[in-house]
Amino acid sequence: MDVVSRVRVSGPLAEHAAGFAAYLAGTGYRPLSAANQVRLLAHLSRWLEDRGLAPAELTGRRAQEFLAARRAAGYTCRLSERGLAPLLGFLRGLGVAPEPERLVPVAAVDVLLDCYGGYLAGERGLAASTVRYYLDEARGFLAGREDLAALTAAGVSGFVAAECRRRSTGSAKILVTALRSLLRFLVVEGLVTPGLQDAVPSVAGWRGGGLPKALPEGQVAALLASCDRDTVTGRRDFAVLVLLSRLGLRACEAAALELDDIDWRAGTVTVRGKGRRDEQLPLPSDAGEALAGYLRDGRPASGPGRRVFLASRAPGGGLSAGAVKAIVRSACGRAGIAPAGAHRLRHSAATGMLRAGAPLAEIGQVLRHRSVSTTAIYAKVDHVALGQLAMPWPGSLS
């Protein structure tokens, strides 16, 4: 707090400077970052004083004017709404600054999407992540469609055909599934012609037609070695990568892991998987050591919430699935290998178990597959076993 205390604040916000500094410290800001935020408060306070404005007049529009003045004065950081958000959030929480006004009226499509999101979560019982996927696809379809009653089967199939030209097979399948769901909802609401969901064409794609894309041997070790375990962030990233590569966790599962999910005495970890299923897995010794190393010498003891993996930058909070994927991409860059997604480590875990002689049934249990056919795709990467089944190539056809 010594760095913070040296910031001089005058004007109408001066009385809130000490409270803001304490708030920043409590939410995990480091001294230098906290001092920069208090300097922002000092600049805003002077700006209000120069214009004869009270904090109660600090509306969203006034905040935009302040940011414009800050840019014009030659400042190079905290020039956006995001940079100003911690300060405004603190002042609004005290009731000093007014809540942000809605400058743009709510569009009809937003109201419809809110209703659709409630239907997906409440009536269909879909997970929040699935609801977000469906809403994103629904927004793209509804954009520019003001008269839903005039929607035709040709319009639906034409939209799908145009979209699928620029999508992968997997993305196209998500689109048509989400679109059928949306149209069923619109039929129930009486907004479109009944049966219009049947106009959504299917996407050609053969299950198991491709090979699982595991990382080449040695690259997983390179990813792990790229983590600087002398730093907090490095210990966290190492633990994340170990869980992804040893237990085959999905990015969302690693992000959702909580402290209470780890049973150190039993040597197990509870994974919150797809379809809201919780399953216990044995915790390998190397994964346990990586987790213990981060929890002991990395994760703040007073960190917010019960999530295992926390963001390294203030205001902290648990990692998102996107942040877990970013950890994998960053490790690829440090290791000097081609960018890879977090799911590649899941495939690598499966193929590693297969090479070690684990049966497919056991691999399916670790990966928590509901169907044996899902695990069966890994049989195609067992070249030794497949070689015993292959017929010898004829030496000559003449």
- And the tokens for 168? 């992968």
347 catalytic? Reply is no
Spot the catalytic one: 246, 346, 347, 368. Answer: 346
Closest CA to 291 of 220, 243, 248: 243
Closest CA to 320 of 245, 258, 252: 252
Q: Using CA atoms, how far apart are residues 398 and 395, in angstroms rounded to an integer? A: 9
Spot the catalytic one: 23, 29, 119, 378. Answer: 378
Spot the catalytic one: 43, 78, 235, 250. Answer: 250
User: Which residues share a beta bridge with 310?
Assistant: 318
250 catalytic? Reply is yes
Q: Using CA atoms, how far apart are residues 1 and 34, in angstroms rounded to an integer? A: 8
Spot the catalytic one: 180, 184, 343, 355. Answer: 343
Spot the catalytic one: 62, 139, 272, 274. Answer: 274
23 catalytic? Reply is no
134 catalytic? Reply is no
43 catalytic? Reply is no
For residue 310, the 8-state DSSP code is B
274 catalytic? Reply is yes
Place of tokens 């994340």: 240
Q: Using CA atoms, how far apart are residues 138 and 14, in angstroms rounded to an integer? A: 47
Q: Which long-range contacts (CB under 8 A, 24 or more apart) does 345-348 make?
A: 345/215, 345/220, 345/223, 345/241, 345/244, 345/245, 345/248, 346/244, 346/248, 346/249, 346/250, 347/212, 347/213, 347/214, 347/215, 348/214, 348/215, 348/220, 348/245
Which residues are annotated as catalytic? 250, 274, 343, 346, 369, 378
